[in-house]
Each structure stands twice: as C-alpha cells, then as structure tokens.
Amino acid sequence: MSKIWIRLIAILEIVGGVCGIAFVGWQFVTLPTHRHTLIFASIALVVYVFSFIAGIALWLERPFGRVASIIVQAIQLPKGLACLSSTTCRTMRLSPGR
C-alpha cells in the first residue's frame, strides 16, 4: 500500500479518535448520567482511544499500527453494513430528483 494512503488512514484515525473522545467527554459533562449510559459511553471511549493510538502507531510505521488499524476498521464495519441495509440511511441520501 502506498505511504500516502497509510498516512491518510492514520490521520483519519487520529482525528476520529480525538473527535470521539471530545464527544464522549462533552456527553459526560452536559447530559445526566445513568448506569446504562455510563456503560455504553465507556465502551465508546475505549474504541475512540484505541483508534487514536492505532492512528499514531500507524503514522510512526509500527507493526502494531497496521494490526490496530485493521481492528479499528473491523469494529466500524458492522455500523457501515447496517447503514447500507437501513431505510433511514437510504432516505438521507440525496437523489437526483431532489
């Protein structure tokens, strides 16, 4: 794979991790916390932190970076596949007639 693509993926993972960490932090501060909310938010936070770490490791060309990047992408795969089959995602796309 080209070094440019690897750098681009690393940047996207770093930015995604930072934005996700900021979003979860914002949710902790602004919304009332419940036990179930804390559980799901903690899981999301772990994924975002792992994405950030994977992006940095990939940028530094560490072998762990490639493996971690594949894992991060595999974690995101069910969400993307669910969106492909979801009516909500299909209706949000702009069609030529709109």
Residue 23 within any structural domain of the chain = yes
* Cα 52 from Cα 20, distance rounded (Å): 9
Provide the domain limits for residue 35. Answer: 3-92
Q: What is the pLDDT of residue 58?
A: 96
Q: Is the pTM of this model over 0.85?
A: no
Q: Answer yes or no: is 15 within a domain.
A: yes
Q: Output 34 or 91, whichever has higher pLDDT.
A: 34
Q: Is residue 39 part of a domain?
A: yes
The domain tally of the chain equals 1
Mind listing the pLDDT tens digit for each residue in 19-74? 999 999 998 888 887 888 888 889 999 999 999 999 999 999 999 999 999 999 99
Alpha helices, DSSP H, located in the chain = 3-30, 35-59, 63-85, 87-92
Residue 22 domain flag: yes
